[in-house]
Amino acid sequence: MFNKLKNDAPCWCKSGKSYGECHKEFDAKLGELRKRKYRIPSHKMIKNEEQLRGMKESSKLNIAILDYVAENIHEGMTTEEINTLVHTKTLELGGIPAPLNYEGFPKSVCTSIDSQVCHGIPSTEDILEDGDIINVDVSTIYKGYYSDSSRMFMIGNVHPEVKRLVEVTKKAIEVGLEQVKPWKPIGNVGAAINEYVQKEGFSVVREIGGHGVGIEFHEDPYVSYVSDWNTGVIMAPGMAFTIEPMVNMGSADIFIDEDNGWTVYTDDNMPSAQWEVTVVVTEDGYEVITW
The CATH code of the domain that includes 109 is 3.90.230.10
The answer as to whether 255 is a domain residue is: yes
The answer as to whether 225 is a domain residue is: yes
Please answer whether residues 111 and 68 qualify as being in contact, where contact means their C-beta atoms are separated by less than 8 angstroms: no
The answer as to whether 103 is a domain residue is: yes
The answer as to whether 14 is a domain residue is: no
Q: pLDDT tens, 19-54?
A: 999 999 999 999 999 999 999 999 999 999 999 999
The answer as to whether 123 is a domain residue is: yes
pTM recorded for the entire structure: 0.96
- Does pLDDT of 65 surpass 60? yes
| Domains: count for the chain | 1
If pLDDT is split at 50, 70 and 90, which confidence band does 226 have?
very high
The answer as to whether 221 is a domain residue is: yes
* Domain housing 190: 39-290
Residue (of 137, 142, 146) closest to 47 by Cα position: 146
The answer as to whether 78 is a domain residue is: yes
pLDDT at res. 270: 98
Residue (of 67, 82, 154) closest to 123 by Cα position: 82
The answer as to whether 6 is a domain residue is: no
Instruction: Give me the percent of the chain exceeding a pLDDT of 90.
Output: 98
If pLDDT is split at 50, 70 and 90, which confidence band does 192 have?
very high
pLDDT at res. 40: 97
Cα separation, 163 vs 29, whole angstroms: 44
